[in-house]
Structure formats: C-alpha cells, structure tokens
Amino acid sequence: MNIIKSSKALNRYLNTIREGDSKVTIGFIPTMGALHQGHASLIDESVKNNACTVCSIFVNPTQFGDEADLDKYPRPIEKDIKLLMEHGCSILFLPAYEDVYPKNYTHKEFELNNLDHKIEGASRPGHFQGVSNVVSRFFDIIEPTYAYFGQKDFQQTAVVRRLIEICKYETTLKIVPIKREPHGLAMSSRNVRLSDKGRKNAAFIYKSLTQLRDDVPELGLKESVSKAKQFISAQKGARVDYLVAVDSKTLEEVDQIDDAESIAVLTVVEYEGVRLLDNIILK
Ligand code: AMP
C-alpha cells in the first residue's frame, strides 16, 4: 500500500494510472480513521470492484461543532494502516489540514435542498456543510469512479447524492449496509468510549428498530415509532435525541407506511455520554 500525504502527488499518481489504462476504475472511501470492521466492509467492496482503492483518513474539523468532540476523536494511525493493508487497499491518503484547506480556500455553502438542516443537521448545525466541503475537495483531487459510503450515516448518503448532483461529479455513489457488533450495536469509532457493559447493553437500540419494523403491520408507523421511543427512554441512562421515520430521498418525516416509496427510520440515542447513530430501512 502506498501512503500519500500530498494532494498534488495523489492527483498526479492517479492521473498516471488513468493514462496507462483508460478503463481503470478508482474506488474511494473517505474516513476519519479509528477504523473498524464497518470501514473494512467499505474497503472490501471497493477492492472487489476496482483496480485501485483509495482510502482517506482525515479528521475534518469543519464537520465538528464541538471542539471537545474533535479533540477526543481517536487517532490510532498504526492500527489503521495495518487494517488497510490486510484488506488490500491500494492507497492511503493522509493529508494535512493545510493541504485540504489551503490559505486561499473559501468554505462553500452548498444548496443541499434543506437536507443539511433537518434531523442530524438540526442537532449539529453546519455539520453537513462541513462534510460537503471535505467530500467535494476529495472528489476534486481524486476524481473517483465510485465513492463508498456507509448506510450507517444515512443522512450523509442523501447529502452526498445531492452534492454529486449539483456539482455534476462523474462519481457514482455506492452505499454499503451497516456492519454490527455480534449483539447488534452498529459499529462506530465512538463505541470505544462506551464501557464494556454499555457496549453490550447498547444493543437495545437495534432491538428497538427491528421491533419497530415488526410492529408496523399491526400498529401502523406512527404508533410503532412512538413505542420504540418509549422502549429506548425506559432503558437506564438512555436518552433519545431523535427517532423519526422519513422519506429516504427527501428526509421529510412520514406518518404512514404508504406516505413514500422508500422509508427509513433514523435515530440517535445518547448513552453513557456517547451519541450513537443507527437506522433501519423499512421499505
Ligand atoms: P467515519 O470514519 O465515521 O467518517 O466513517 C467513514 C465511512 O464509514 C462512512 O461512510 C460511514 O458511514 C462508514 N461506516 C462507519 N461505520 C460503519 C458501519 N458500522 N458499517 C458500515 N459502514 C460504516
């Protein structure tokens, strides 16, 4: 695996590959590091389908509202490199802040059709504009054929789909299913902040989502959502930040299963001081 730290060097290297073979495809996985098996499933998907896989590790300050959260973000780089090598990644892109955001860079405000303001965006103002800025910088540098994002960050996939549309990127978005711990908790770099017991207990989040899915035929969507919220709130130390059923494309809230062609339920639960994201696709 090649480790490249400069965007110019990466761009040059990828252009050489493209010039050598016009049919070559490049798969790209943007990450913030502290890699786990969830990230690995994105790498595997890209390695399977592309001659060249680029993974970036960059803890993007513009998508953190809370400085303490940014400072606390784990950065186990040696372990990350090992995982990437084991999974056959071709290039690790490891840029410095000044390379991603040079002095003359002006932070852009993308027209995201309001996708950035609702749900997770309401809890984290500016977050999705920060994500869009870093993703568009990386797309400009890498010009990937395919970009792999996790279903785990469901709203992020809707934002990236919109970004590709408005910037007319020739990149195709690929969404990879959520990888879970054996007991059901969605894998996340933040899970290391949970106690061992908390990590096992937090399976109640996924349990509430699967129960919700099973409840819908009998109780209807609205009632099932409300039951799931009550179930989570009844768990000691858990607080529901949000739990909403939405149209998968517009992220508008829906009350009934027939209200949209595709529906997902998105949730964030605060548990042991950690924000845990999860979701389930209902249809
Ligand atoms: P992050 O490093 O948290 O920015 O995540 C990088 C990418 O990995 C994003 O596209 C995430 O959605 C994806 N990802 C994170 N956790 C998981 C998981 N448990 N399963 C699948 N993909 C994931």
Q: What is the pLDDT of residues 147-165, one digit of tens each?
A: 999 999 999 999 999 999 9
| % of the chain residues with pLDDT over 90 | 96
Q: Which residues line ligand 1 (CB under 6 A)?
A: 31-32, 38-39, 41-42, 149-150, 152-153, 176, 178-179, 186-189
Q: Where are the domains of the chain?
A: 2-176, 189-281
What pLDDT was estimated at residue 195?
97
173 in the Ramachandran plot: left (φ > 0), alpha (ψ -120 to 50) or beta? beta
Write out the two tokens for 87. Answer: 């999974």
Q: What is the mean pLDDT of residues 1-6?
A: 98
CA–centroid distance, residue 31 to ligand 1 (Å): 7
What pLDDT was estimated at residue 72?
86
What pLDDT was estimated at residue 272?
97
CA–centroid distance, residue 2 to ligand 1 (Å): 22
Model confidence at 101: pLDDT above 90: yes
Confidence of residue 270 (pLDDT cuts 50, 70, 90): very high
> For the chain, what is the HEC assignment?
CEEECCHHHHHHHHHHHHHHCCCCCEEEEEECCCCCHHHHHHHHHHHHHCCEEEEEECCCHHHCCCHHHHHHCCCCHHHHHHHHHHCCCCEEECCCHHHHCCCCCCCCCCCCCCCCCCCHHHHCCCHHHHHHHHHHHHHHHHCCCEEEEECCCHHHHHHHHHHHHHHCCCCEEEEECCCECCCCCECCHHHHHCCHHHHHHCCHHHHHHHHHHHHHHHHCHHHHHHHHHHHHHCCCCEEEEEEEEEECCCCCECCCCCCCCCEEEEEEEEECCEEEEEEEECC
Q: What is the mean pLDDT of residues 11-21?
A: 97
Distance of CA 236 to the CA centre of its chain: 27
Residue nearest atom 10 in ligand 1 by C-alpha distance: 149
Q: What is the mean pLDDT of residues 33-56?
A: 98
User: What do you get for the CA distance between the two ends of the chain, in Å?
Assistant: 39
Strand partners, 91: 2, 54
Nearest atom within ligand 1 for CA of residue 39: 8
Strand partners, 279: 266
74 in the Ramachandran plot: left (φ > 0), alpha (ψ -120 to 50) or beta? beta
What pLDDT was estimated at residue 61?
93
CATH of 189-281, one of 2.40.30.30, 3.40.50.970, 3.30.1300.10, 2.60.40.1930: 3.30.1300.10
Q: Which of 50, 62, 66, 59 is nearest to 17 (CA)?
A: 50
Q: What is the pLDDT of residues 130-151, one digit of tens each?
A: 999 999 999 999 999 999 999 9
What pLDDT was estimated at residue 26?
98
For the chain, the average pLDDT equals 97
Q: Which of 270, 277, 214 is nearest to 244 (CA)?
A: 277
CA–centroid distance, residue 150 to ligand 1 (Å): 5
| % of the chain residues with pLDDT over 70 | 100
Model confidence at 129: pLDDT above 90: yes
Q: What is the mean pLDDT of residues 67-76?
A: 88
Write out the two tokens for 96. Answer: 């410095």
What pLDDT was estimated at residue 219?
98
pTM check: above 0.95: yes
CATH of 2-176, one of 3.30.230.30, 3.40.50.620, 3.40.190.10, 3.40.50.1820: 3.40.50.620
Model confidence at 74: pLDDT above 90: no
- Is residue 280 within 8 A of residue 263, CB to CB? The reply is no
Confidence of residue 177 (pLDDT cuts 50, 70, 90): very high
Nearest atom within ligand 1 for CA of residue 150: 12
Probe residue for ligand 1, chosen from 31, 39, 190 as the CB with the greatest number of ligand atoms within 8 Å: 39
- Is residue 276 within 8 A of residue 196, CB to CB? The reply is no
Residues listed for the chain? 283
Q: What is the pLDDT of residues 60-71, one digit of tens each?
A: 999 998 888 889
Model confidence at 243: pLDDT above 90: yes
